[in-house]
Structure 1
């Protein structure tokens, strides 16, 4: 066993380490930087998210990267958690450090079901991230015609320009 992660490759932790790095969700997520609600959202644990929401009023509490539980649930494709959070009236237009909304992150991670839930609850498909991209740009980049069609149905600006 390697202590303190010495000798491990960058972005990896020593086996048995407390700190885990999640990267499959389109975000680099360090377990040690997350509050309980964020950890539950990443894991898709709707029951734990519900318990966290019952204990406090900070539904929209950000992590160090300004990501909310909704951002993390969308990026990870956890439909039950996304549904729970939007039904609890979490803010759907809050931005992370890259000025990405949960909708942009859902589309970027190709989590169509999560994106549809957000759009049905009034998410604005025309908000731009720090690169000037809207959700439609990410649908086009990933060649997701079905997602592009859904975004256009919800009035995404087909003429939006990036930087």
Structure 2
């Protein structure tokens, strides 16, 4: 008997899941990396887990954030994806976006309540390491509306 996945929403290994399900999961991760918001949203709306994780614990939102797809990050967060879900290395989507210098993604994550102190290293520490503390100081849409 095979061991169940350690991550809820993670596709089971090919020994326990039909190959079609494994192939679909891989396709969803590719959609997240490419930023294909409409197609990925349709799958999530049809029942694919918003917090689906790959074998390394990266969620769809993490992959979208890391690849700079702010619109997809916004869409997944609106569909219930956890903006603070850490991968197996303890990294948050916010820290990944800061590492990549994705300012628009950082703004979206902060608008959806991402914690700059989640994970290891935290997003705050990542910003300091890369000399980009300004990324955490960007105004969110609600703050810029007040001016």
> What TM-score do you get using the length of structure 2 for normalisation?
0.72
RMSD, aligned CA:
2.1
The residue aligned with 2:70 is: 79
The residue aligned with 1:15 is: none
Quickly say closer, same or farther: Cα 1:106–1:118, change in 2 above 3 A. same
The residue aligned with 2:27 is: 36
Shift of 1:35: 2.3
Larger Rg: 1
3-state secondary structure, aligned to 2:76: helix
Alignment partner of 1:142 is 2:133:
no
Q: After TM superposition, which residue ranges in structure 1, 4 or more long, deviate above 3 angstroms?
A: none
Contact 1:36 1:52 in 2 (8 A): no
Most deviating of 46-55 and 142-151: 142-151
CA offsets 1:15-65 (integer angstroms, 9 cap, x no match): xxxxxxxxxxxxxxxxx8x52221101001111111211221411010000
Alignment partner of 1:127 is 2:118:
yes
The residue aligned with 1:117 is: 108
**Pairing 1:40-119 to 2, within 5 Å after superposition:** 40-119=31-110
3-state secondary structure, aligned to 2:110: helix
Count of matched residue positions in the alignment of Structure 1 and Structure 2: 117
Shift of 1:145: 4.2
| Larger helix percent | 2
The residue aligned with 1:19 is: none
Shift of 1:139: 1.3
Give ranges in structure 1 of 5+ residues lacking alignment: 1-31, 152-163
Quickly say closer, same or farther: Cα 1:128–1:50, change in 2 above 3 A. closer
Structure 1: distance between partners of 2:95 and 2:68: 13
Higher RCO, 1 or 2 (CA under 8 Å, sep at least 6)?
2
Contact 2:86 2:119 in 1 (8 A): no
